[in-house]
Amino acid sequence: MSSEYDYFSAGIRGSYTKLFNEKNTELSVNANIYIDTWNAIYPTELRPLEKMVMV
C-alpha cells in the first residue's frame, strides 16, 4: 500500500502451485490486482478561470 497527499495505491497478489510426477513437474498460477487513485493538481496557470463578478 502506498499513500501520498494526491495519490493512493493498494495491491493484492496470490499464487497457487501444484507439483506432479513425483515433484519433477510444477504448474503455477499467479494473479495480481492493483487499485490506484489520484487527484490531478494543476498549476494555477492551467486551472480554469473562475467567473469574476464585476462590482
SS3 assignment for the chain: CEEECCEEEEEEEEEEEEEECCCCEEEEEEEEEEEEEECCCCCHHHCCCCCCCCC
Residue 53 covered by a domain: no
Per-residue model confidence as pLDDT tens digits over 4-45: 888 999 999 999 999 999 999 999 999 999 999 999 888 888
Domain span holding position 8: 2-41
In a domain, 54, yes or no: no
Residue 10 lies inside a defined structural domain of this protein = yes
Look at residue 48 and tell me if it is in a domain. no
How many domains are contained in the chain? 1
Is the entire prediction scored with pTM above 0.85? Answer: no
- In single-letter form, the type of residue at position 30 comes to N
What gap in Å lies between CA 53 and CA 55, rounded to an integer?
6
